[in-house]
Each structure stands twice: as C-alpha cells, then as structure tokens.
A and B are shown apart, each in its own frame.
Chain A
Amino acid sequence: MSNLIKRDLLLSFYSSANFFFTVSFFILVLILIPFAFGTQTDQLKNLFKGVVWIALALSIIITVDRIFNADYEDGNLDIIMQKNKTIEYLIISKYITHWFIYCLPLLVILPILSFLFYLDYSETIQIFINLFIGSFGMVFIANFVSALTLGARRTIFLKAIIMIPLFVPFIIFGSDAGSWPILLALSMLSFVISIYVTAYGLRLYGE
C-alpha cells in the first residue's frame, strides 16, 4: 500500500505539469466569474461560494482519466494489481494519492482566491471546511467511475455525464455555510459505495 502511494506521488512529481494544469484550470474557471457577471463586490462574493464548487467538480472531472485509465492503457495496472493482493488497500491508496495530488493544491490556493473575491476571514474558513470535506466525497465518486469505465477508452464525456449528477448533492449543500455535517455524511456514504463499486470494476477488468 505504501509502495503504491510512493510510486503515484513520484509519478505525479515527474509529470508535474499535470498538477500545475489542474491548479491553473481551477483558478481560471474562477477568474471567469467577474468577466461574466461584472465586478460588483456583493454579487461576486455570493457567486464565488457557488462557482468554487463547480470549479472543483470540473477539476476533478479532467483528472479522472489519470486514476486508473493511464495505468490500464500502458499495462502498469497488471503489476499494481498483482503486487496488491488486497484490492481494498489498493483502492484506499488511490483515494489518498488522488486527493493529495489534485485536491490539496486547490485547497491551498483557495484562501488567496477568496481574498481576491472580498470574502472575509470567517466566510473563507467556512468554505474551506466545506470544500475540504466535500472534496473527499467527490474523489471517491471519481475513483469508482474511473474503475467502472476502464475498458472504454477516451471516454471523458461519458465519465463527465456519469459524474456530474452524482456531484449535485455536494454542490447543493456545499454552498451553504455550516453544512459540513451533511457533506461529511455524503462523503462517508460515497466512501462505502465507492469502495465496493471500485473493487467490482477492478475485478471485472482482470477478467
């Protein structure tokens, strides 16, 4: 398990363009808000709270191909699955690395962005907590979608169509301040479902 985490982190470090791209993508989506809606401070604030979730959802969608598909296409998934006899450990290490590589940088950059959108200290903290908890749930969902669509190549649209409806509950509750217990419940629920479905998808791949 720790070997796989180490390997995935090193892989993303070597191809660091991946992780810079996700952060820049996230920032750029948010920067579009003032262009589309004008620069009135009050409006921006409210829009930011909602659009930040859309930006997170889109950033996760563009990374979904890198969870299992890249390793599947070049054959590394064979080695990974052989070395990790307990498939659940494999999946949990994928959750950890995927969150660490693609969600953590977004959370780090978030306070700076919310400062640019005139959010005050307490509002930033609330958004941060919501995103922190909700991002886990979204990562769990992305993982199982990735595992289920392993055989189908170049199907980022299909994956997006499956994932976006599943992200809706997170986005509904996410933009409310103080709704973190609901997000926590959603994340835990998606963890339970995701680990079964991902394991099923990976076993199916072996066939």
Chain B
Amino acid sequence: MNELKTENLSCKRGENVVLNNINFSIKSGETLVVKGRNGSGKTTLLRILSNFITSYDGKALFNDISILEDNLYNSKFNLIGQKNSLKENLSIKKNLELWDILFNEVLDHEKLLEHNNLHHFINRDAGSLSDGQKKCISLHRLNYKKYDLWFLDEPFVYLDEVNTHLLIEKINQFNENMGIVILTSNISLPKNFHKEINI
C-alpha cells in the first residue's frame, strides 16, 4: 500500500505565491483530480511532486519519507507533461524506439496503438500529425510498466470523445492494479474520480 501526501505545501516563484498550503493524501488505487484556473499552479504542483522543483515550503511525502530524500522515488512515477516529447522530423516509429531506450523497456507499439486507431500512422513524421494524435502518442507512454504513480498534466486536452473514454478506462484499470493517479484539469470531466482538490 503506497501513500502520497503533502503537508502545508507552499511555493513561491519570485514575488508570486503560486501554491498556498496544499494538503492532500492519496492512497494506492485512487485518483486525484487537481482543478484550478489557468495559472493557479497545477503544473507547478506536478513538477514539485516529480522532484523537478526542489525549493518549496512544507512537505511532500511518499510512504512517510520526503520525496527529496527517497532515492528510489524518481523511478516510481511516470510524468506526462503538456509537451509531447516527440521529435517532429522523425517518424512515430523512430520516436517510439527512442522512448524505448530511455524507458529501458521494449513495447509492441503497433499493437498498442491499434486501440487508438493510430497504427496506420506509425511510419508518418510526427510533425504531420494533428495535435490530438500527438497527444495520443504522448499518452502512449503510459503503457510502460513498473510505475506506481502517474502524473498527468492536462491529459484530456485535444482528445476526442473516444480517446477520452479510452484514457479514463486506462486510468481505472491502473487504479485497480493499485496505482496512484494525479491529473490536472481545468475543465469538468465526464467521470467523477475518487478525490478532487481546488487550488
């Protein structure tokens, strides 16, 4: 049973207070939706939880150990940011191959992309795809195994109805396998997840 929680998390960027006293706790099998207006600090929160931002007040704890001190923590989460991480001048296939090396795991991409109906595009340049298709490919990184946490930054942006449902299904499945999901969203979602905070 894993638990991720924050205690009075506050973060300043220059003079601006971006996050003010954020408290939440989330256990294995649960999904937390972080809501808030544009610029309210949702991405900052995810970047704190992924150890990219290290100077903040308060605590972020994973299984009661500070995430800054836990050496194994970095290999436990999978962060899908707003950028697609695709090389526009390379084909999707080559992009996925490069990810395989970085993630140290080889997936059967063609088969997995069939769900999103994207396997026809595997030899096309990433730059020639639409924003929605790029987002789908970007979310394809969730297929890499061995992660306990998923951090998804605005995962539903650009997605059509079918892909939105596929993603929700995927999140539910991950929850059933005792995974923790934190996702940000500034629009209302078609499904209610376990927990929700407003920042």
Contacts and interface: CB of A to CB of B under 8 A. Distances in A.
A74 B84 contact: yes
A15 B94 CA distance: 10
Interface stretch (A19-27, A76-84, A99-107, A111-119): A76-84
A6 interface: yes
B90 interface: yes
B172 interface: no
Interface string A120-133: 00000000000000
B142 to A, nearest CB: 13
Contacts of B103: 79, 83
A11 B74 contact: no
A85 B102 CA distance: 13
A80 B83 CA distance: 14
A14 interface: yes
B101 A75 contact: no
Say whether chain B's binding surface is mostly helix, strand, loop, or mixed: loop
A154 interface: no
Contacts of A83: 74-75, 102-104
Interface residues of B, number: 30
A204 to B, nearest CB: 11
B88 A6 contact: no
A206 interface: yes
Contacts of A82: 50-51, 74, 77, 79
Given A15-B89, A74-B84, A78-B52, A3 B104 contact: yes
A75 B50 contact: no
Interface string A191-207: 00000000000010011
User: Size class of A's contact patch?
Assistant: 20 to 34
A11 to B, nearest CB: 6
B54 interface: yes
A7 interface: yes
B180 to A, nearest CB: 17
Given A75-B81, A79-B103, 20 more contacts: A3-B104, A6-B101, A7-B102, A10-B97, A11-B90, A70-B87, A73-B83, A74-B85, A74-B86, A75-B82, A75-B83, A76-B85, A78-B79, A78-B85, A81-B52, A82-B50, A82-B51, A83-B74, A206-B52, A207-B54
29 contacts: A3-B101, A4-B102, A6-B101, A7-B102, A11-B90, A14-B90, A14-B98, A15-B87, A15-B89, A73-B83, A74-B83, A74-B87, A74-B88, A75-B84, A76-B85, A78-B52, A78-B79, A79-B85, A79-B99, A79-B102, A82-B50, A82-B77, A83-B74, A83-B104, A85-B71, A203-B54, A206-B53, A207-B52, A207-B54
Interface of A: 3-4, 6-7, 10-11, 14-15, 70, 73-76, 78-83, 85, 203, 206-207
